[in-house]
Amino acid sequence: MKFETETEIINGRTFKFTPVEGGEYNFEGQKCLVVDPCYILQSDDGQDPYDGLCRASRPTYEPENRDKNLFIEMECEGEYAFIFGTRYGDGCYPVSQNQELIGKAGVDAGILGVFPETMLKKIDVSIDGEQLGVVVDGVDGTVDHDNGNVTLGGLRNYIEVVTGDEAHDAEEEEEEEYSY
């Protein structure tokens, strides 16, 4: 299935947002930021670069596409990041590397992205310092998006972001723990 590519200019560079089904990426050797794209996709020229991403992501929400391994591929000058919808929209979702919890990524736009350092440089975002996301070591391999849960990498080295039923259930349990 072929989807339309949306194009946005961010800080003088052309970025393409394309819905894709599955994919392989090599982020090995770089740090990656797992973050809600609305926190980092900003432009100093008055444009709202987030609009192209929103237009491109429409097919991922269509009922006939929900069971597909769909996500948004972001490309600029040969560098890639990928963006995916969370299962339950906004919230705070666990990010693990090789089954070790690294942190939780906050979501305000119902989507998360994995951005390697090379892509962050193109949007003038530093991976150092305080972040609104979670920094992980980059991996290479395939991307699997299943019901809001995303795995990137291979058998021995992988990143997992859980936004599906497991994360939703854990968040409800945590809320019950603190309720009176």
Tell me if the pTM is above 0.95.
no
Residue 45 lies in a domain: yes
CA distance 95 to 48: 28
CA distance 150 to 160: 6
Residue 107 lies in a domain: yes
- What per-residue confidence (pLDDT) applies to 48? 59
Domain range enclosing 127: 6-177
Residue 102 lies in a domain: yes
CA distance 159 to 177: 28
Total tally of structural domains belonging to the chain: 1
Q: How many Cβ atoms sit within 10 Å of the Cβ of residue 167?
A: 21
Q: How many Cβ atoms sit within 10 Å of the Cβ of residue 121?
A: 12
Q: What residues are paired with 155 via a beta bridge? A: none
Residue 62 lies in a domain: yes
- What per-residue confidence (pLDDT) applies to 131? 66
Residue 32 lies in a domain: yes
CB contact at 8 A, 52 and 134: no
Joined tokens for residue 117: 């350092």
Q: What is the pLDDT along the chain (180 residues), one digit of tens a residue?
A: 567 888 877 777 888 888 888 777 888 888 889 998 888 876 555 555 566 676 677 666 676 766 665 788 889 999 999 888 887 888 899 999 999 999 999 888 788 889 999 998 888 888 875 567 899 888 877 887 777 788 888 877 888 988 877 655 555 555 555 454
Phi, psi of 17 (to 5 degrees): -115, 120
Joined tokens for residue 173: 């349990």
Residue 97 lies in a domain: yes
Residue 1 lies in a domain: no
CB contact at 8 A, 161 and 146: no
Residue 90 lies in a domain: yes
